[in-house]
Amino acid sequence: MRDVVLLLHVVVGTSGLALGPAWLVARRRGHPAHALAVAYQAAVAGVVCSAAVLAVTDPGLRWLLPVAVVTEVLAVTGALARRRSWPAWRSWQPHLLGGSYVALVTGLLVAETGHPVAWLLPTVLAQPPIALAKRRLHAVAAPPAHVPA
């Protein structure tokens, strides 16, 4: 049973890692990318559910349960922020969705390397793209400058 859940965890995690950039590129090209958004959210939910099963069945992994829950909260909240036009969503959405993706990358690196740097490197490397996304979202929302006639 554990092997099946672990295989599912790897498959949906890999899907999430592939879908995140695909969704971003599609949005940057002006496509609504609803299918990619739903697929990414499903992949994150799948990773979280499989991680929860693994954490509950292995006492050594129970500490990962809160990490999984936070990952799902970041992904869902990031998607809802824009869709519901929450105040300051342009500032929050890149951090929320970026955070969910950083969690996927961190999980991969920690599982593959076990190196302590793997816990910090994705977060540090994600800051410039998140800042750029925020800048672009705010630039799109900025009112056009008044040009005298």
* Structural domain includes residue 146: no
Give me the pLDDT at residue 22, please. Answer: 94
pLDDT tens track for 50-61: 999 999 999 888
Number of domains forming the structure of the chain: 1
Containing structural domain, residue 110: 2-141
* Structural domain includes residue 148: no
* Structural domain includes residue 97: yes
* Structural domain includes residue 108: yes
Give me the pLDDT at residue 144, please. Answer: 58
Q: Residue 148 above 70 pLDDT?
A: no
* Structural domain includes residue 41: yes
Give me the pLDDT at residue 143, please. Answer: 61
Q: How far apart are the first and last CA of the chain?
A: 72
* Structural domain includes residue 68: yes
CA distances (Å), origin 43, targets 97, 121, 131, 134? 13, 23, 25, 24
Q: Residue 145 above 60 pLDDT?
A: no
* Structural domain includes residue 149: no
* Structural domain includes residue 147: no
Listing DSSP states for the chain in one string gives -HHHHHHHHHHHHHHHHHHHHHHHHHHHTT---HHHHHHHHHHHHHHHHHHHHHHHH-GGGTTHHHHHHHHHHHHHHHHHHHHTT-TTHHHHHHHHHHHHHHHHHHHHHHHHH--GGGGTHHHHHHHHHHHHHHHHHHHHHSPPPP---
pLDDT tens track for 52-111: 999 999 988 888 899 999 999 999 999 898 888 878 788 888 889 999 999 999 999 998
